Amino acid sequence: MNKTKKYKISFLILLFLAAFTFYVIFTKFSFYDIIDKVRESSHKHYLLFACVLSVVYIALYGRFINVGISALNEKTSRLKCFVYGCADFFYSAITPSASGGQPVVIYLMTKDGISLSTSAITVIFQTIAFKAVLLFYGILSLFVVWNIVSITSVLFLILILVGVATALISITLCIVSMYRPYLTEKVGTAILRFLTKLRIIRNGKERICSFKDTLTEYHKAATFLNNKKRVLLRMFFITLCQRTAMFSIAYFVYRSFGLCSFGYIDFLCVQALVSLAIDSVPLPGSMGANEYATYFLYGVVYGSNDVMAATAMLLTRGFSFYFPLVFTSILILGKQLLDHFKIRTNRA
């Protein structure tokens, strides 16, 4: 099965899960009651901030890539980096455990003339920073919203712990692949030989030689970037701003209802808990799991007003997932049509 077909199947699964999720939500809550809650919100202008933050989130991913590429003495435009950010969001959203974004970004970067080692090391550093920021907010939540953490269900606590473990394992594997090339080479070579024996891949010897050459360049890029401490701190700060922008959406939705008793930092921590809990759920876009986890924690934030909690959950999810999903899908489709047009024009 080729990758294009896999992405199409993942997208169809996402649509099915979305339909099922909305069916469950609107079976419990009246659609008109939720619309009325939105209409009754006294500070609707805050929703505009939530909308802008979702675009800022994508733009900051592109900025991270731009900084990483420049640090490794390669050049690309900021517009292309923004497209990479859109591609990462879209393909991560439609694949289980957000596994599809990184390979597509690396493919697009190499297609634009950026070396494979630079592409891979930039994406891997982004993964490390992304997970590290999530862990930072997760630890912060233990101090800021312990009252919420302490009353969550056992299942939710288990999911949070699994999310923490997944983040730590991801960071460890990324660091090992960058700074322990001998170990990475042994494991990678063994896997390639095994796949060759099973006839899953062809030209095993050529693949192994190519893998070793790429790994050498990859390690050189990692070592070079590691010597630029200020650049690494800058990349981490960009990711911190990126994650904060996404987590802030929930706060502006909350303020749109005219509420202010729950603090800004509190909301950042609540959204971090949601992200940690669903991080290891192998569903495209964490569909269903994210909605449930958000609604579950909003029971504390919004009190006994279940309709308001459900409305806030849908608005938060709408601005943090559905809107950027539609936005990035339109941009990616437009890029593909433009590339196809250029190819046909060159052939003519």
**Per-residue pLDDT reduced to its tens digit, 30-39:** 899 899 888 8
Q: What is the pLDDT of residues 219-254, one digit of tens each?
A: 776 777 677 788 888 999 999 999 999 999 999 999
Give the pLDDT of residue 221. 67
Give the pLDDT of residue 190. 81
Give the pLDDT of residue 83. 92
Q: Which residue has the higher pLDDT, 210 or 134?
A: 134
Give the pLDDT of residue 157. 84
Give the pLDDT of residue 120. 83
Quote the pTM value. Answer: 0.85
Name, in order, each residue with C-beta under 8 angstroms of 312's C-beta and a sequence gap of 6 or more: 250, 253, 254, 257, 298, 301, 302
Min mean pLDDT across 104-118, 161-175, 186-200 is at: 186-200
Task: Provide the residue count of the chain.
Answer: 348
Q: What is the pLDDT of residues 283-323, one digit of tens each?
A: 777 888 888 888 888 888 887 778 899 999 999 999 999 99
Dist CA 57 CA 324 (whole Å): 9
Dist CA 7 CA 133 (whole Å): 28
Dihedral, CA of residue 198, residue 200, residue 204 and residue 208, to nearest 10: -110
Q: What is the pLDDT of residues 67-95, one digit of tens each?
A: 988 888 888 888 999 999 999 999 888 88
Give the pLDDT of residue 12. 86
Q: What is the pLDDT of residues 118-169, one digit of tens each?
A: 888 888 888 888 888 999 998 888 888 888 877 777 888 888 888 888 888 8
Q: Which residue has the higher pLDDT, 200 or 62?
A: 62
Reported as half-sphere exposure (CB side, CA atoms, 13 A), residue 343 has a value of: 6
Q: What is the pLDDT of residues 251-269, one digit of tens each?
A: 999 999 888 888 899 999 9
- DSSP output for 304-334: T-HHHHHHHHHHHHIIIIIHHHHHHHHHHHH
At 330, the pLDDT band (50, 70, 90 cuts) reads: very high
Give the pLDDT of residue 302. 86
Give the pLDDT of residue 347. 65
pLDDT at 43 over 80: yes
| Mean pLDDT to the nearest integer, 100-124 | 86
Dist CA 181 CA 69 (whole Å): 21
Dist CA 231 CA 65 (whole Å): 12
